[in-house]
Amino acid sequence: MRPAGVISEQRQARRFADYLLTQGIAARLGPTPEGWTVWVIEEEALPRVRDELASFCREPGAARFAVSREAERIRAESRAARRGPAAAALPQTPAGAPWSLASPTPLTWALLAFCGIAAVLTRLGDPRAPLVARLLPGAEGLPPSAPWQWLTPVFVHSGPLHLLFVAAVWPELARRVEARSGTAALAAAVIGFGLLGNVVQAMFFGPACLGLSTPAFGLLGIAAAERRGGAAGEVEVVLAAGWLGACLLGLVGSVGGAAHVAALAGGLAIGAAVRRGRRPRASP
């Protein structure tokens, strides 16, 4: 998500936001001291949005920007679609995403903050920390069959390097999904990829599967399979590839390389399925 520019008045910012929505461009508005920043979710649309914003600033009253009714119709259709079975698709079509002046990615940052708190309480996954025994499968204190232990390992990190990697790649990958598809979609992705990674890791390589990096690899797989410009930046891809190699070579301890591979494969499958579903069908 990249900033395209700032509009000083809230009413004019909403007007421009409505216009972008009717053009199929996913964007958000965020308050700043200077006014309202226009955030573009897909980086491939950034040049066009900047050109449109320049035109809007020159002539905000132009007839082509008077599309509030059309924008409201798109929002209503989006709300109706999310109440139906199609709401489960991840991610959803950006053109129908609802607008919000508040932060569009609360879960992205809440999960990262929670992992930071867990890192302190578990002393970065120190087996001697009392909380580790309750969170990790096979740890002393609870049997591996404790239901929550299939998911809670995603909040435990095995050292500062592991936590730094998550802090580097998670925000950019997660906030794109949450901003475009909603908080519930990101929550479903974290739970789904977390469970998938833990199950695969436990079945073939033992119970050690740590970190929010497992869901991050799932989101990376979705972005790569969709082949959407800006869905995953080059920095995130390079860091993820390097981290996966280090995990598979055993250079970073008990992190769970198999879980990362499973989540990545799951994300690729979901992204490919979503991309196929979006292909236009030939007219009869």
Domains and CATH numbers, the chain: 2-96 (3.30.70.2350), 106-278 (1.20.1540.10)
Q: What is the mean pLDDT of residues 61-75?
A: 88
Using alpha carbons, list the distances in angstroms from residue 153 to 5, 150, 200, 243.
40, 7, 13, 18
Q: What is the mean pLDDT of residues 106-135?
A: 86
Q: Are 252 and 161 in contact (CB under 8 A)?
A: yes
Global pTM reads 0.58
Q: Which residues pair with 261 in a beta bridge?
A: none
Rounded-to-integer distance, Cα 4 and Cα 168, Å: 23
Residues 6+ apart with CB under 8 A from 11: none
Per-residue pLDDT band at 101 (split at 50, 70, 90): very low
Cβ neighbours around 74 below 10 Å, total: 19
CA 115 to chain centre: 16
Using alpha carbons, list the distances in angstroms from residue 264 to 56, 78, 214, 234, 276.
41, 29, 8, 16, 18
Supply the pLDDT for residue 152.
85
Q: What is the mean pLDDT of residues 52-68?
A: 90
Supply the pLDDT for residue 278.
54
Contacts of residues 237-241 at CB distance under 8 Å and 24 or more positions apart, as own/partner, are: 239/165, 239/168, 239/169, 240/169, 240/216
pLDDT per residue over 236-247, tens digit each? 566 667 766 666
